[in-house]
């Protein structure tokens, strides 16, 4: 079981050349990262490519504005954004409340 309440949160400024701070609680076994991510309104994770892994982001609260390989999509609570290996994406919180996501990044 993973209890995010017991994992230290770190704040990364301008993560992947994004805007503002990305708050993360993360564990890793060396091949898979399991992460809880919070983006405050106006903050973003910059555009980056998943060369060796894929990522699934499940939206817990807030609204994610994602770009996947140049295509924009809005992801609502209860929905997931998937970035396959070899693809490029970014995530932004354009809403008025914090965006909270659960993400799994798996090496392939």
Three-state SS at 13: strand
Q: List the CATH code of the domain at 9-107.
A: 2.60.120.10
Rounded to an integer, what distance in angstroms lies between the CA atom of residue 74 and that of residue 76?
7
- What global pTM score does this model have? 0.94
Listed by start position, the domains of the chain span 9-107
Residues 73-100: tens digit of each pLDDT: 999 999 999 999 999 999 999 999 999 9
- As given in the structure block, the two tokens for residue 56 are 């699934």
Beta-carbon contacts of residue 96 (< 8 Å; ≥ 6 apart): 41
Residue 71 in tokens: 């295509």
User: pLDDT confidence of 32, banded at 50, 70, 90?
Assistant: very high
Q: What are phi and psi of 15, to 5 degrees?
A: -60, 125
As a whole number, mean pLDDT of residues 64-70 equals 98
């Amino acid at each position: 079981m993973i209890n995010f309440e017991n994992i230290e949160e770190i704040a990364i400024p301008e993560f992947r050349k994004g805007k503002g701070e990305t708050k993360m609680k993360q564990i890793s076994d060396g091949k898979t990262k399991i992460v809880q991510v919070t983006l405050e309104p106006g903050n973003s994770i910059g555009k980056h490519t998943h060369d060796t892994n894929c990522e699934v982001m499940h939206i817990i609260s807030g609204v994610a504005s994602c770009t996947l390989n140049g295509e924009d999509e809005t992801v609502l609570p209860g929905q997931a954004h998937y970035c396959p290996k070899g693809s490029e994406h970014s995530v932004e919180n354009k809403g008025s409340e914090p965006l909270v996501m659960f993400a799994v990044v798996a090496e392939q």
